[in-house]
Chain A
Amino acid sequence: AQSVTQLDSQVPVFEEAPVELRCNYSSSVSVYLFWYVQYPNQGLQLLLKYLSGSTLVESINGFEAEFNKSQTSFHLRKPSVHISDTAEYFCAVSQANFGNEKLTFGTGTRLTIIP
């Protein structure tokens, strides 16, 4: 079984400042890692994912996350945030090497951008 911990339930950040949203996971097997974003009254959208290869993965809108196996972490970062980044962010894991396994989610981090 896997579990995900997102320690920060809310993160307020000034516009154009950097941000880091923390995610730690626990698993006895290899995992795939995901960050999903949820805008108000919308479904979850995949932001980025780590399956294998380079431990640093990037999204098209400037976010990046780094898989750290020794620290069992997959923190999400952005060097300069915008108002449009206001949303809830969920970290998730699934068992690797098995297609279409369920996602186990963290409790989410609400990112609020302050103008």
Chain B
Amino acid sequence: EAGVVQSPRYKIIEKKQPVAFWCNPISGHNTLYWYRQNLGQGPELLIRYENEEAVDDSQLPKDRFSAERLKGVDSTLKIQPAELGDSAVYLCASSPTSGNEQFFGPGTRLTVL
């Protein structure tokens, strides 16, 4: 069974540029999460989807961050414009509807110069 797939693995951009991250969850997993992991910290939830619906986006900085999961499968997280403080690892995770375990992808390491 394939795991959670994320791309790109690494991204370097200059501040004020836009950037997008893509995630494909494990097949059949209805719940999808985006976390941000700052250097030396644990991951923090940005947004959680149940199928196409964003059920928890309270920690998503909506002035510059957006996310979508149009068909309830893969998802895209976008930052526009990026700031220096956005440098972090962006992790995607998924879980089955009735599950308690979250399966994580390898993450995208973003560096904003």
0 or 1 for each of A90-113: is its CB under 8 Å from B? (1 = yes): 101010000110110111100000
- The answer for the CA separation of A16 and B4 in the assembled complex, in Å, is 33
A24–B112 alpha-carbon span in the complex (Å): 34
Contact of A4 with B by CB under 8 A: yes
Contact A105 B43 (CB under 8 A): yes
Let me know if A43 and B42 touch, CB within 8 A. Answer: no
Contact of B91 among A34, A43, A46, A106 (CB under 8 A): A43
CA distance A45 to B104 in the complex (A): 7
A51 to B31, CA, bound (A): 19
Contact B56 A102 (CB under 8 A): yes
Chain A interface residue count, Cβ-Cβ cutoff 8 angstroms: 24
Contact of B97 among A42, A45, A90, A100 (CB under 8 A): A100
Across the interface, do A46 and B101 meet the contact criterion of CB distance under 8 Å? yes
Residues of B within 8 A of A (CB): 4, 31, 33, 35, 40-45, 48, 50, 56, 91, 93, 95, 97-107
Enumerate chain A interface residues (CB-CB to B < 8 A).
4, 9, 32, 34, 36, 41-46, 49, 51, 90, 92, 94, 99-100, 102-103, 105-108
